[in-house]
Amino acid sequence: MISRVTSTSMTQSAMRQLQVNLSELSRLQEKAISQRAFLSPSEDPSAATTTLRLHGEQRRTEQYARNIDDGLAWLTTADSAIAGATALLSRVRSLTVQGANDGALDATAKEAIAVELEGIRDEMLATANRTVLGRFVFAGTSDTPAFAADYSHSGVAGSEVLRRVSDEASIRVDADGAAVFGTGDDSVFALITGIVEDLRMGVNVGARLSEIDERRTAMLSAQGAVGVRQLQMERAKEAIVDSSVSLEARRAAVEDVDSVEILVQLKAQELVYQSSLSVTARVLQPSLMEFLR
């Protein structure tokens, strides 16, 4: 049986095909503008699922990067503070050696050394209470200054400030103030105070040199531990940068369009649409004129 073809049916068929071509042209234009391979998850469910997973990994990686930057700030501050304290302690040792020379120094000279030592002690106490964004780097998880006026340490034994740098690893970013400076009567601050008192009382301070050397050794050991964690943090930063680059490349491969390819497709679809208009106008000219009338 032969179906009947009329001008109306031809017009409707042509209009439907024109609409299909126009819809495809619109879709390609949206892709070219948005630079996205799919505009809704329904277009490519598999790619959409992969994209969501990659975005999640990227957000997690960005958080690790922020943790690493914060951790490096802590470790850099701690390292700088310990280096400064070590330099101050070296000066304390030099002054103690001078003060131990009883035959060449009178009371006035020893008093001058004592005054300088007091200034160094106060400066070292300020160094021990160094902060990063309001947090004390030698106080562990405590929110109070690491050392009080009586040289007691506010940190809780075993408490550590950690920063997660990957799914598997966390790195300690603070330094144990008690290990670096000592606490109470066994602290470096009390040691300097004792040297000052000995100078003013006429007691030879030469015996204090071994105590200074012990405290300096403890500081250098703590600085070495901080340096190791800094290297770990730097390696973690390099790994995060590599991971970020890899994730972005994977995301772009799934979610972004190939600009050259989409422009070629868009140009081809424009030609298809223009050709469809031209052919329809030629074939259905009488019907189109009737429709316009």
In this prediction, what percent of the chain has a pLDDT beyond 90? 59
Q: Which pLDDT score, from 0 to 100, does residue 286 have?
A: 57
Long-range contacts of 145-152 (CB under 8 A, 24+ apart): 146/177, 147/177, 147/181, 147/187, 147/189, 150/184, 151/125, 151/182, 151/183, 151/184, 151/185, 151/187, 151/189, 151/190, 152/183, 152/184
Which of the four CATH numbers 1.20.1330.10, 1.10.3080.10, 1.10.10.60, 3.10.180.10 does domain 52-252 have?
1.20.1330.10
pLDDT digits (tens, 9 = 90+) for 184-193: 999 999 999 9
Domain locations along the chain: 7-37+257-292, 52-252
CA dihedral 163, 167, 169, 170 (to 10 degrees): 10
Long-range contacts of 262-269 (CB under 8 A, 24+ apart): 262/28, 262/31, 262/32, 263/32, 265/28, 266/25, 266/28, 266/29, 266/32, 269/21, 269/24, 269/25, 269/28
Per-residue CA distances from 183 to 88, 201, 218 (Å): 18, 24, 13
What residues in the chain have per-residue pLDDT under 70?
1-11, 14, 18, 20-40, 256-266, 269, 272-273, 276-277, 279-293
Cα four-point dihedral sign 220, 221, 226, 228: positive
pLDDT digits (tens, 9 = 90+) for 215-274: 999 999 999 999 999 999 999 999 999 999 999 888 777 776 656 666 666 677 677 667
Strand partners, 170: 164
State pTM to two decimals. Answer: 0.77
Whole-number Å distance between alpha carbons of 251 and 58: 9
Strand partners, 163: 171
| Of 218, 229, 181, residue with least CA distance to 73 | 229
Q: Give the tokens for residue 10.
A: 């031809």
Judged on CB neighbours under 10 Å (0-12, 13-18, 19+), 289 is exposed
Q: Which pLDDT score, from 0 to 100, does residue 250 have?
A: 85
> β-pairing, 135-136 with 170-172?
unpaired
Q: Which pLDDT score, from 0 to 100, does residue 21 have?
A: 65
